[in-house]
Chain A
Amino acid sequence: MKFKLTLLCLCLWGFTALSAQDMAKIKLKGNYQNKLLDLVMLDLEINYRLRFKYDRALTEDVRITASFGKLPLEDALTQLFKNTKIGFELEAPRTIVLIPKTEMSEMDWSKVEPTRRDFTLKGIVKDSKSGESLPFASVMVKGTYNGVTTNVDGYFTLFNVPADTVVLVVSYIGYQNRLVRISPETDIENVKVELEDFSVALEEVVVKATREEQMLSASTGISRIALAPAALAKLPSYGEKDIFRSLQLLPGISGSNESSSGLYVRGGTPDQNLVLFDGFTVYHVDHLFGFFSAFNTNAIKDVQLYKGGFDAKYGGRLSSVVEMTGKDGNTEAFNMGVGLSLLSVNGFVEAPFAKGKGSFLVAGRRSFQSDFYNNIFEAYTDSNEASNDGPPQNLGRFGQQEVQPNTYFYDLNAKVTYRLNSRDVFSLSFYNGEDNLDNSRNLDQDALAGRFGGNLNFNFQRESTDLTAWGNWGGSAKWSRRWNDRFYSNANFSYSNYYSERNRSDQTFITRADTTVERNTGSYELNDLKDLSFKLDNELKINQNNQLDFGWQTTWNDIEYTFTQNDTISVLDRADEGLTSALYIQDRHTFGNRLVVKGGLRTSFYSPTEQIYLEPRASLSYLLSEKIRLKAAWGKYYQFANRIVREDIQQGSRDFWLLADDDNVSIGSAFHHIVGLSYETKDWLFDVEGYYKTLDGLSEYSTRFVTTGFGPDRQLDYEEFFYTGTGIAKGLEFLAQKKVGRLNGWIGYTLGEVKYDFPIFGDTPFPANQDVTHELKIIGSYQLGKVTFGATFIYATGRPYTAPTGYYELTLLDGTTSSFFEVSNKNSLRYPDYHRLDISATYDFTMGTSQASAGLSITNLYNRKNAWYNEYEVIEGELIETKVSLLGITPSFFFTWTLR
């Protein structure tokens, strides 16, 4: 008996037999007050058909005091034996082996005789509650360097498993690690590993797994970070879990830019960041002028961020990649949830169909005009007006009326997944989100004329439109297939549309007798971007040490930008179409278990220039010791669709997308050079990376030197306002992360510099708008029972800006005097340093069988007046500077409820 027990004993953490996966579905409840363990076991054996195996001496006179309600078996047993010297192991079917905790680390594996050696293990990693497959989860043979990550569908193939008595270490961000023992009975063709997310409240875990409550994992590769969307609720927020705002808390990503949800990664701009959602590209990530990102965390299960040096699989951007995978929907049971914050309501519904082969999820979110929403809205619309204050303003037409703006945002996600068999998975994903601001008014003279007996043959109507709307439509159809153990393909057909409309115009309708004349004055602006893409990504595992990735990606872009004044006079009218076709190949080779080298090449053909662009990529990772890893990456990157930041035309959105033509708008390119070192222990990760990026073909837009031509041909020529420059971004990032324990989190520090060199702005390089020298972030969460406290602190040196060094006045033809500013060298000044402390408390509780949580956040706790921008005006001959601050102390709360 003892020998048998010894055979089954676990190491320090213990582990679970694979055949026990079904046991995870068993849930126990009980209330024992100082009751003999023998009686407790009897009770459980009778009520739950369990069987206990143990040495009688171990349980003699042991009394149990424990109370739990409907906990999974392992969690319930952990509670049961918490204050005893007894450990346990699960053994199928429905059998629990009790062993002394002291013996758990004394396992003698040499006595276990394996029946299979050097075999290939295949399986899938899933969420234990919802059945969601988990992409990019790590599966390692414990004590070796032999490991693999799951593909986007959660499947893995692990070659050269030395014996069928090994232990697998399975980990996934946001979930508790699991140690899984392979046994001679294990079905090595179809292993199912179920992980539990750490929202399952456990006091202590000593048997089955380590408890890594990480919100991020930075140890998966060079410049690569994985984020756990579900864990973000523990961080302070404005009431909405926000993936992009959370990414801004990482080193190397600017966290001091509150007016944009976009990511400024290592000196790059948000448009240089490729954002993929279920395979389609998202071109604009802002809700509410950038205060929130446009993604609903209820619909997202995985986020991977590549801060640079990314693989040949990704292209079309200079800086970074964010790849998000949407939830497939619950494959186990119907589930639903709702959430409420001071800004919006959200909800989701998910359910399986076709006996769990298929599943769907629908998630939506819509804002409402609360005082909180209006405060934010007004702050941002004021800033737009401030940035658009042209010196001379015409006198308003008499009779204008004040209107209350009608504004909202919403987003909607839907996904259907069908697993035909263990080889084929089909999914359809859909996304739509929009922000809308309508400030229009309608002055109808017809009503007056009719009512008072005026000239009935005459109708005069003026409609004043003030409409701002932007949003995204996106959808993808995916088919992935495991052809065999070695070959996996993923075909994705996607459509994405980003639109931004700005209409500030007066329409005048004059009707006489039977004729109507329509006249338009004002401006109309439309940016409409369409992206139709097909991608075929393949993975070929040649052997344990060699994996080949190759694929084909084709994108058709149709980008229209129209800026019209009055009736049909186009100031700027571009309609560009372009086809980008890329082939890539990348080989990942492991040498001697310690050195991993990736070499790849991406070749892109871009139809507007009819040229081929070569993008070689390489990276390596070397394990100096079990804890120390050296890493490096290098690569060339091109970008064909550029976002032009337009800050200087009166009224309207401040940026728009254009397709590069290498004539007016340059094709951007970048070289990344990255080196790094990480030191990782069970509890801590220390990571340092240095980067150096050269940038070419950067575009800026300006109204300097506004006129072209001469004599009668002289005109304002907007086409000439695209300026091209180069840049250099360099920096050092440090990350110290405490991965486990009640108190966990990280400290990140970035030392960075971004300099641009545009000949039009002078002979010497200048700091780019996003240049921040020092940035320190401290993020922590602490769990106390069912309450989790969170805190984030951000410190950043001030961003650069351009300010007036003087002014002059001109008396214009209309007799008014206007002031104009003579400005400093580009970005030669800096705002004061930025810092902010946010705190939060989240209470998780159950309502019957359902889960709920309520949270309170206070952002900018000590009400720091962080600089947003400065305004200038000349008053009685004096240049007055007004400093405008970002949001001060802001409390908010949220409540969420899920059925399961």
Chain B
Amino acid sequence: MKNSNIYFLLLFISFWTSCEQESIENVESESAVLEAFIYAGQPLDSIRITQSFSYGQVDTNIIVLDDLNVMISDDTESFLLTPMGDGFYQNLAVEIQPDQNYRLEFMWQDETVIADTYVPGKREATISAETVELDKIEEGSFGGFGEMPDPIEITWDNPEGGYYYVVVKNLEEDPEYVNENIAVLEEENSGRQPFQFISEPQITDFYAINPRRELIQFGTHQIIVFRVNAEYAALYESSGSSTLSLEQPPTNVTNGLGIFTGVSSDTLYLEVEEQ
């Protein structure tokens, strides 16, 4: 058995020494990336085309793609977009219409990059209260002795099961905090900033704010209810960041990456006042 032992030992050593670490292959990544949101009722002014970064690329400056012949078309007409530099394209003469299909296309590396989308119609949102009063809590005190205000409910119709998300933003430049204890904490960390909260796109027809817990500053808050398409909601679905789950990211662009999608929105306001 001595011979077989030696054989297995050699086999073992050869395996051991053959350990080598593979690394990400050095593939040049040169796909066109579309970042194109078109808003119902607004001119076409927010389309940007860039190029993806390769792994290990030394220059981390974004590579923009100017000088492309970018066309946008609805069901009847086509329009050429004007390059504005830094990868931006626009055509202010085109006003995006709700409930309308649009197609964007251009040539990149001998392939036609095409993306289609639909601009959803606007949904009117309502808010349960336009003003809410909260007790000021001074630094060092526990507070919370005042009356508990009703939750603020923002609702809209969603019979078709569309995707919505909500942005709550304090418009005050130098907002006063409801709870000064939090202000002190924020000052130590990121500094005092106007409050902003963004929900995730979901199939829903309401959004509720718990004033006592979620409204931390006084002032005029803007609440925007965005109606977005499935391709945008898909950006929030994980495509993973680890090799346990890495997948090609969702995109509605053929022969390219990124997104081309229509958006509509409705804006509401909420005053948060000291009681």
* Residues of A bordering B, CB below 8 Å: 383, 386-392, 394-395, 397-399, 443, 445, 448-449, 452-455, 458, 460, 462, 508, 510, 512, 519, 521, 565-567, 569, 647-650, 654, 702-707, 710-712, 714-716, 736, 747, 749, 774, 776, 778, 795, 798, 801-814, 816, 818, 820-824, 828-833, 835, 869-873, 876-879, 881, 884
20 contacts between A and B (CB under 8 A): A387-B244, A397-B213, A448-B212, A455-B148, A462-B210, A521-B202, A703-B234, A704-B248, A714-B229, A716-B233, A795-B15, A802-B246, A805-B27, A805-B54, A807-B52, A810-B259, A813-B37, A820-B249, A822-B29, A824-B27
A872 touches B241 (CB 8 A): yes
Of A798, A818, A870, A876, the contact of B242 (CB 8 Å cutoff): A870
A445 touches B263 (CB 8 A): no
A706 touches B231 (CB 8 A): yes
B33 touches A387 (CB 8 A): no
* Among B24, B37, B252: residue with most chain A CB under 10 A: B24
Q: A648-B245, A806-B29, A869-B243 are in contact. Are A714 and B231 (CB under 8 A)?
A: yes
Report the nearest B residue to A816, measured CB to CB.
B198
B275 at the interface (CB under 8 A from A): no
B206 at the interface (CB under 8 A from A): yes
Within 8 A of A (CB), among B19-62: 19-25, 27, 29, 31, 33, 35, 37, 50-57, 60-62
B85 at the interface (CB under 8 A from A): no
Find chain A residues with CB under 8 A from B118 CB.
710-712, 714
CA distance in complex: A503, B49 (Å): 39
Of A398, A462, A703, A707, the contact of B247 (CB 8 Å cutoff): A703
Of B11, B50, B151, B259, the contact of A460 (CB 8 Å cutoff): B151
Find chain B residues with CB under 8 A from A648 CB.
237-240, 245, 247
Report the nearest B residue to A709, measured CB to CB.
B230
B161 at the interface (CB under 8 A from A): yes
B60 touches A823 (CB 8 A): no
Find chain A residues with CB under 8 A from B245 CB.
387-388, 647-648, 654
B106 at the interface (CB under 8 A from A): no
Interface size class of B (residues with CB under 8 A): 35 or more
A394 touches B198 (CB 8 A): yes
A810 touches B258 (CB 8 A): yes
B140 at the interface (CB under 8 A from A): no
A879 touches B231 (CB 8 A): no
B167 at the interface (CB under 8 A from A): yes
* Among B214, B216, B236: residue with most chain A CB under 10 A: B236
CA distance in complex: A410, B77 (Å): 66
CA distance in complex: A323, B99 (Å): 60
Q: How far is the CB of A454 from chain B (nearest CB, A)?
A: 4
CA distance in complex: A712, B226 (Å): 16
CA distance in complex: A730, B139 (Å): 71
CA distance in complex: A711, B121 (Å): 11
B239 touches A820 (CB 8 A): yes
A873 touches B241 (CB 8 A): yes
A814 touches B230 (CB 8 A): no
CA distance in complex: A795, B145 (Å): 65
B220 at the interface (CB under 8 A from A): no
A508 touches B208 (CB 8 A): yes
B232 touches A454 (CB 8 A): no
A821 touches B246 (CB 8 A): yes
Of B23, B33, B153, B226, the contact of A813 (CB 8 Å cutoff): B226
Find chain B residues with CB under 8 A from A455 CB.
147-150
Report the nearest B residue to A398, measured CB to CB.
B214
A649 touches B53 (CB 8 A): no
CA distance in complex: A802, B234 (Å): 20
B212 touches A704 (CB 8 A): no
Find chain B residues with CB under 8 A from A776 CB.
11-12, 15
Q: A823-B246, A835-B19 are in contact. Are A810 and B235 (CB under 8 A)?
A: yes
CA distance in complex: A758, B230 (Å): 25
B257 at the interface (CB under 8 A from A): yes
B147 touches A448 (CB 8 A): no
Within 8 A of A (CB), among B140-164: 144-151, 153, 160-161
B200 at the interface (CB under 8 A from A): yes
Find chain B residues with CB under 8 A from A778 CB.
8, 12
Q: How far is the CB of A887 from chain B (nearest CB, A)?
A: 16
Report the nearest B residue to A394, measured CB to CB.
B200
CA distance in complex: A870, B272 (Å): 46
Q: Mark B176-213, 1 if CB is under 8 A from A, else 0.
A: 00000000000000000000111110111010101011
CA distance in complex: A776, B14 (Å): 12
Of A567, A569, A811, A832, the contact of B20 (CB 8 Å cutoff): A832
CA distance in complex: A654, B238 (Å): 13
CA distance in complex: A567, B206 (Å): 11
Apart from A566-B203, A810-B235, A831-B22: 20 A-B pairs, beta carbons within 8 A: A386-B241, A389-B242, A390-B236, A390-B238, A392-B235, A394-B200, A445-B213, A458-B148, A704-B248, A707-B229, A712-B160, A714-B118, A808-B257, A818-B235, A820-B239, A822-B52, A829-B24, A832-B22, A869-B242, A871-B241
Of A565, A706, A801, A806, the contact of B234 (CB 8 Å cutoff): A706
Find chain B residues with CB under 8 A from A877 CB.
53, 60-61
Find chain A residues with CB under 8 A from B231 CB.
706-707, 714
Find chain A residues with CB under 8 A from B101 CB.
710-711
CA distance in complex: A250, B31 (Å): 46
Find chain A residues with CB under 8 A from B145 CB.
452
Find chain B residues with CB under 8 A from A460 CB.
148, 150-151, 210
Find chain A residues with CB under 8 A from B247 CB.
647-648, 702-704, 802, 823
Report the nearest B residue to A443, measured CB to CB.
B213
CA distance in complex: A833, B15 (Å): 9
Q: How far is the CB of A450 from chain B (nearest CB, A)?
A: 9
B239 touches A821 (CB 8 A): yes
Q: A452-B146, A519-B206 are in contact. Are A715 and B230 (CB under 8 A)?
A: yes
Find chain B residues with CB under 8 A from A387 CB.
240, 242, 244-245
Q: A736-B4, A822-B257, A833-B18 are in contact. Are A703 and B250 (CB under 8 A)?
A: yes
Of B53, B151, B165, the contact of A510 (CB 8 Å cutoff): B151
Of B22, B203, B234, B257, the contact of A569 (CB 8 Å cutoff): B203
Find chain A residues with CB under 8 A from B62 CB.
809
CA distance in complex: A445, B148 (Å): 9
Q: How far is the CB of A717 from chain B (nearest CB, A)?
A: 8
Of B22, B117, B146, B238, the contact of A649 (CB 8 Å cutoff): B238
Find chain B residues with CB under 8 A from A521 CB.
202, 204
Find chain B residues with CB under 8 A from A814 CB.
165, 167, 198
Find chain B residues with CB under 8 A from A654 CB.
245
Q: A519-B208, A776-B15, A833-B18 are in contact. Are A399 and B213 (CB under 8 A)?
A: yes
CA distance in complex: A652, B196 (Å): 28
A390 touches B244 (CB 8 A): no
Shortest beta-carbon contacts, A-B, top 7: A806-B29, A877-B60, A390-B238, A454-B148, A650-B238, A387-B244, A387-B245
Q: How far is the CB of B130 from chain A (nearest CB, A)?
A: 18
Find chain A residues with CB under 8 A from B21 CB.
832
Find chain B residues with CB under 8 A from A706 CB.
230-231, 234, 237, 250
CA distance in complex: A776, B19 (Å): 13
B219 at the interface (CB under 8 A from A): no
CA distance in complex: A329, B185 (Å): 64
B235 touches A391 (CB 8 A): yes
Of A448, A510, A749, A806, the contact of B55 (CB 8 Å cutoff): A806
CA distance in complex: A186, B170 (Å): 96
Q: How far is the CB of B165 from chain A (nearest CB, A)?
A: 7
A399 touches B148 (CB 8 A): no
CA distance in complex: A295, B165 (Å): 46
Find chain B residues with CB under 8 A from A818 CB.
235
CA distance in complex: A460, B128 (Å): 15
B199 touches A394 (CB 8 A): yes
B105 at the interface (CB under 8 A from A): no
* Among B20, B202, B238: residue with most chain A CB under 10 A: B238
Find chain B residues with CB under 8 A from A798 CB.
22
CA distance in complex: A423, B208 (Å): 70
B249 touches A821 (CB 8 A): yes
